[in-house]
Amino acid sequence: MVISLANELIALLEPLAQDHGLELVTVEVAGPGRHQIVRVYLDREGGIDIEAIAEANAWLSDTLDSVPRLSGPYTLEVSSPGIERILRTRRDFERFAGQRVVVQGMLKIDGRSRFAGELVGLHGDDVVLTVDGQEVRVPFETVERARLKADFG
């Protein structure tokens, strides 16, 4: 099985972020193979500021320069996760219980694979949501994408 470049970078960068007192929210890799864009989303308790992002840029650059699959030119973008933060880890699904979320699954459940509702939390191996008054369980390992959903109403 070939591991995606984004997952390879998450595995490499997550412990380094923790060493710097930061949380690695996720890594995205976009663009053609000859000039990729690597987006690294960082956070920390109380939120992350521009100074912490600038400091992280230096050690992230040094680390990414040593990754063979990034041997060509790439653009590094370092950012906060924003208000519609990505949920990736089991801890994320526990931590943000009670929040509005959008979850995209790889499998259809009752004819749907995308759900928007309130995150109840993680129960066993299932992400549990309340959608239109009904409980929906999405197996954690089948979650393709999930993020908080801003509620401006």
Residues 64-80: pLDDT tens digits? Answer: 999 998 868 899 999 99
Burial (Cβ within 10 Å: 0-12, 13-18, ≥19) of residue 22: buried
Angle, CA 129 vertex, CA 101 and CA 125 arms, to 5°: 110
Q: Which CATH superfamily is domain 5-79 in?
A: K homology (KH) domain (3.30.300.20)
* β-pair partners for 28: 39
Judged by DSSP in three states, 12 sits in helix
- Kindly report the average pLDDT of the chain as a whole number: 93
pLDDT grade, residue 2 (50/70/90)?
A: low
User: Residue 10 in contact with residue 24, Cβ under 8 Å?
Assistant: yes
**Boundaries of every domain in the chain:** 5-79, 90-148
* The pLDDT of residue 58 is above 70: yes
pLDDT at 34: 76
Question: What's the rounded Cα separation, in Å, for the pair 114 and 45?
Answer: 30
For 86-134, write each residue's pLDDT tens digit.
999 999 999 999 999 999 999 999 899 999 999 999 999 999 999 999 9
5-79 and 90-148: same fold? Answer: no
CATH topology of domain 90-148: SH3 type barrels. (2.30.30)
Q: Provide the angle, in degrees to the nearest 10, between the axes of the packed helices 5-19 and 50-64.
A: 120
SS3 of 14, please?
helix
Would you call 20 helix, strand, or coil by DSSP? coil
Report d(CA 124, CA 96) in Å as an integer: 16
Q: What is the pLDDT of residue 3?
A: 73
Q: What pLDDT shows up at residue 32?
A: 73
Which range, of 5-14, 52-61, 71-80, averages the lowest pLDDT? 71-80
The whole-model pTM stands at: 0.86
Inform me whether the pLDDT recorded for 23 exceeds 80: yes
By the 8 A CB rule, do 8 and 69 touch?
A: yes
